[in-house]
Structure 1
Amino acid sequence: MAQDGQDGQDGRRAVVGARLLDEAIGYAVSAALRAVAACGVADRLAHGPRTAGELAAATGLDEGSLYRVLRLLATREVFTEDPEGRFALTEAGGMLRGDVPGSLRDAVLMLTDRTFWEPAGRLDHCLRTGGSAFTDVFGRSFFDHFAQDAATAAVFHDGMAAMSSAEDRPIADAYGFPETGPGAVVDIGGGQGGFLAAALRCGKGLTGTLYDRGHVLAGHGLGAHTDLTGRWSTEEGDFFEEVPSGDFLVLKRILHDWSDEECVRVLSNCRRALAPGGRVLVVDAVLVSDGRPHQGKTLDLLMMASLTGRERTREEFRELFAGAGLRLTRVVPTPAVLSVVEAVAA
């Protein structure tokens, strides 16, 4: 009986150990996703299943290497593999195509870019110093690096736009912008303008301002929304210095980039610019301090490795608002990973 007990314990340890090692090599999945996104493999499956050989001939890739990458991704339900060795797109794999609405190809390329990848490999530096590893890798801070590297900045802004494209309208609808009556929406650090467009479609009386740095505004896409003509404008500026006045001041995927002190500075500018009766809307992940999985907990480590910011809990947002003369009123869940954290003047 003692031997049977020891055998059972050894078997259990083997299973647990294998699971731990799976986690340790999980970066291979990220690498495989990046490879097929960069090589446009999903686009070649738009018209049906193909073998690795057929895909290799169509893309100029090595057949054996391509098969091995696809085989792994099929275990993660990015592709399927049939008994004849043909691969097909799943719903997730279809989002790697570059020619479909809601494509996440650019988002995958951004999240696996070396600006996130290499600092993440040095999390031990963060643990030892309490600071970001980005400067240690690249010699300057995250956004300073982008300001001096246009190609990398384009990867970031295109990736952020791709992440936002599928979530913007569900988030705007979940918050419930007024369907009637006037209201000025200011999308602070709004990038290419996807969320502002989604917000304006919630109510015909809404007008909007896209506020960002000049080099970012140069790539905005609001002009493509012909139904919104005449209802939006752009304004160049730095949200650490000031923000335009409005009824709804939106900070979507902004505060998680910055330290508490930097966030209070931005929020204080929002408090000064807030119209009477207005709202500040922080659209970010809201973490719960328990063991439940949440994408925000993973993104939090990327923020730690590459930036000065973090993902936050409801109470941590409450403290940020209080430091800027604002009062948290509610947290609105959405179908996306993000929530809308609403605040008013205290």
Structure 2
Amino acid sequence: MTNHHQESLTTYPKPGPTREQEQVDEEMMSMQMQALRITNSLAFPMVFKAALELGVLHTIVALEEGVWLSPSEIAFGLPTKPTNPEAPMLIDRMLRLLVSHSILKCRLVETGENNRTESTQRVYAAEPVCAFFVNRGVNSGSLMSQFMLLQSQDTSEGCDTRRKRCIQFCPWHGTLRIRCTDEQFAAIFNQAMSDSSTMIMTKILEVYKGLKDVNTLVDIGGGLGTILNLVISSKYPQIKGINFDLAAVLATAPSYPGVEHVPGDMFIDVPKGDAIFMRRILRDWNDKDCVKILTNCWKSLPEKGKVIIVDMVAPSEPKSDDIFSKVVFGTDMLMLTQCSGGKVRSFAQFEALASASGFHKCEVSGLAYTYSVIEFHK
């Protein structure tokens, strides 16, 4: 029997989201994705380090252009052949992440396996950036060893822990330029500096012409002498090179034609030369220490001599989603955590250092990748 007091139930469709609501949802989704990317950011350096150690990048880059490899082909083409039957699957999972960071590129191809013509698999090839992480021949250099250095336990410990082991060994304590008693870390550090120096200096010699009239070039903190050897052997044979660093560093430096290894302390004095070269040195030190170093340089230079500084120059304003800003300000944070008072400076800050040290002119004379060539003129 129908209840006449019961109202009929009528359902109405709920109104869909408005255009404004959809836009808000999309923005929230985008922000959440960005937040998750930051949260999971540890995964990329972890996987990239493993890919370098296993030889994955070298295996892919060694092929001719246009050749694509499957995970199985990559796995069994590695220097050390895998024994784990799941190795291709594990490699594939690593490579997917590297593709998302534009290290590799990927495409799907049909395999036709198991009578399934639509069955596909991923194949991979190298993006151009891979060339910066493999040895491409004489004077090419590589960033691989520098990346491995920054991922090492000694670097992640930070300055204070490392200083406990090294302070009694090295008077230049407090920066990454120390040479600690851990020989393995010292070897990693020296290789990283040498490889990255070669890559950057090769480019600088293409764009910078300020060495053509130099007779004696002093490289402060020159390490193993890689830069001077490259300068003299590849372009300026008339230059006499003086490689100036700690005695402990020079003990392992090879002999090069035209290069003299001179031990010493840049806070006490600097060898005389027509020009003094410093690559990534001032970033390790606070302003007061930089003025000490530069004042010693000023004293050792003749009239119209110059200091040549190769380093990053920080922009006055960071830009959102800008690669240069990410590189420079990321480097600045490494200096903050690894060096006592170190920082990446703006051009105005370089000008202030030049003036405080007695130099009358500061100018940028070249650009190589993210590095500027800055001249301080006496």
What band does the TM-score fall into relative to the shorter chain?
A: 0.7 to 0.9
Which amino acid in structure 1 is aligned with residue 142 of structure 2? S
* Aligned with residue 102 of structure 2, among 57, 77, 94: 77
Q: What is residue 206 of structure 1 aligned with on the other side?
A: 239
Identity %: 25
1:132-182 Cα distance to aligned partner (Å, 9 max, x none): x53157745445873221110111111111112221032234331343x55
Confirm or deny: 8 A CA contact 2:69 2:124 kept in the other structure: yes
Q: What is residue 275 of structure 1 aligned with on the other side?
A: 302
Q: What is residue 284 of structure 1 aligned with on the other side?
A: 311
1:35 aligns with 2:50: yes
Where structure 1 has 5 or more consecutive residues not aligned to the other structure, the ranges are 120-132, 224-228
1:157-172 alignment, distance < 5 Å: 157-172=190-205
1:249-264 alignment, distance < 5 Å: 249-264=276-291
1:18 aligns with 2:33: yes
Confirm or deny: 8 A CA contact 2:102 2:127 kept in the other structure: yes
Give the whole-Å Cα distance in 2 for the aligned partners of 1:53 and 1:173. 41
Length-normalised TM-score, structure 2: 0.77
Q: CA deviation at 1:240?
A: 1.9
Q: What is residue 183 of structure 1 aligned with on the other side?
A: 215
Give the whole-Å Cα distance in 2 for the aligned partners of 1:242 and 1:71. 52
SS at match of 1:82: strand
Where structure 2 has 5 or more consecutive residues not aligned to the other structure, the ranges are 1-14, 109-120, 166-173
| More helix per residue | 1
1:34-81 Cα distance to aligned partner (Å, 9 max, x none): 111122222323235433233334434433332211111022222222
Corresponding pairs, count: 324
SS at match of 1:275: coil
Q: What is residue 296 of structure 1 aligned with on the other side?
A: 328
Give runs of ≥4 in structure 1 deviating > 4 Å: 136-145
Length-normalised TM-score, structure 1: 0.84
1:273-293 Cα distance to aligned partner (Å, 9 max, x none): 112221011111111111233
**Which structure is richer in relative contact order (CA contacts within 8 A, separation 6 or more)?**
1
Give the whole-Å Cα distance in 1 for the aligned partners of 2:134 and 2:239. 34
1:193 aligns with 2:225: yes
SS at match of 2:44: helix
1:143-158 alignment, distance < 5 Å: 143=176, 146-158=179-191
Confirm or deny: 8 A CA contact 1:184 1:208 kept in the other structure: yes
Give the whole-Å Cα distance in 1 for the aligned partners of 2:192 and 2:361. 30
Confirm or deny: 8 A CA contact 1:192 1:221 kept in the other structure: yes
Q: CA deviation at 1:236?
A: 1.1
Q: CA deviation at 1:202?
A: 4.0
Give the whole-Å Cα distance in 2 for the aligned partners of 1:144 and 1:249. 18
Give the whole-Å Cα distance in 2 for the aligned partners of 1:340 and 1:53. 45
SS at match of 1:277: coil
SS at match of 1:333: strand
Judged with a 3 Å threshold, the aligned counterparts in structure 2 of structure 1 residues 189 and 144 are, in CA distance, closer, same or farther, namely closer
* Higher Rg of the two aligned structures: 2
